[in-house]
Amino acid sequence: MTVSCVDLVKTYATERGDIEAVKGIDFAVRAGEFASIVGRSGSGKSSFLAMIGGLSRPSRGSVRIEDTDIWTLSDDRLADFRNRRIGFVYQFSSLLPTLRIIDNVVLPARLDPTQDAASAYRRARERLDQFALSDYLDAYPSEISAGEQRRAVIARALMNDPALLLADEPTSDLDEVSESEIVEWFFRLKRERPLTLIMVTHNLRLAEQTDRVIHISDGRLVT
């Protein structure tokens, strides 16, 4: 799945006036590519990723994923697009604490009204098995480790077989072992699936292992 954006700008209105977090980025990622975006805190990486993922409307510019200009879609259509085409992994623990691991993982499939619940649960079990979490189907997020939680989040992101996986600092709060485990998972996924991967990280060592490294500084691409 190719991803491209043209003249992407994001301005936040604050009490101290407007803050331009992203200042006109032109960018493209080829289908199947694993790109990483690096930059210092506050450089606009996460805002940029949110616009690509259909989570935050650009103040200007467009985002095209395959043939779809996602910001021209209605709110419901965009929600469906995110549900079926994009997987997200965040920098914080993003499992719903009140749901079991299996229910967390099955959520994207259950949010798709065209999917059958029984087969969704079967696939969720397969995903969890794939990520070595089959012992924790009925566990609650607080009952498993941070690394296991992150694997569960990746399993959830892959639930609807998205063509694009967006990861926003997915290893930020993990220890080194868990971090390398998660990174290894990303590379394995890229090998096994026709998946386009864009990962925001501040870890240069990690970024250098990806197909392409894109630097952002002060809301602009740095070549």
Partner 1 sequence: MRVDAGRIGWSAVQLATQNLGLKRLGVGFLLAGVALQNLGRRQARTLLLLAGVSICSGAVFTGGVLLRSIDSSMAAGFARLGADMLVVPEGALTNITAALLTAEPTDLTFDDSELARLEGIKGVQKVAPQLVFRTDASGYRGGTDSVDVIAFDPARDFTVQPWLEQRLRRPIRKGDIIVGGRRDDALGSELLLFGQPLTVYGKLGKTGVGTHERALFMTFETLAEMRPTMQRMCGEKDPLVPNKLSGALLQLAPGATSRQVRFAILANVPEVKVVSSESMLTSIRQGLAALLNGALALMAIMFVSTALMLSVLFSAIIAERKRELGLLRAMGARRRQIIGMLLTEAGLATALGGIAGVVLGILLMRVYEHSLVYYLDRIGIPFVWLNGWTVGLIGALCIVLTSLTGAVGALYPAWRASGLEPYALMRSEG
Q: Binding residues for partner 1, per CB under 8 A?
A: 47, 50, 53, 55-57, 75-76, 79-80, 82-84, 88, 90, 92, 94, 96-100, 103, 106-108, 110-113, 116-118, 121, 140, 156
Q: Which is nearer to partner 1, 112 or 181 (CB)?
A: 112
CB of 180 to partner 1, least distance (A): 26
CB of 177 to partner 1, least distance (A): 26
Q: Which is nearer to partner 1, 66 or 112 (CB)?
A: 112
* Burial class, 118, CB count within 10 angstroms (exposed 0-12 / middle 13-18 / buried 19+): exposed
Map residue 33 onto helix, strand or coil: coil
Q: Which is nearer to partner 1, 67 or 76 (CB)?
A: 76
CB of 188 to partner 1, least distance (A): 23
Q: Which is nearer to partner 1, 26 or 116 (CB)?
A: 116
Give me the helix-helix angle, 117-130 and 101-110, nearest 10°: 130
CB of 104 to partner 1, least distance (A): 10
| Residue recorded with tokens 């566990």 | 139
Question: Which strands form 17-29's sheet, in the order they lie side by side?
Answer: 17-29, 3-14, 60-65, 68-69
- Could you give the CA distance from residue 67 to residue 91 in angstroms, rounded to a whole number? 29
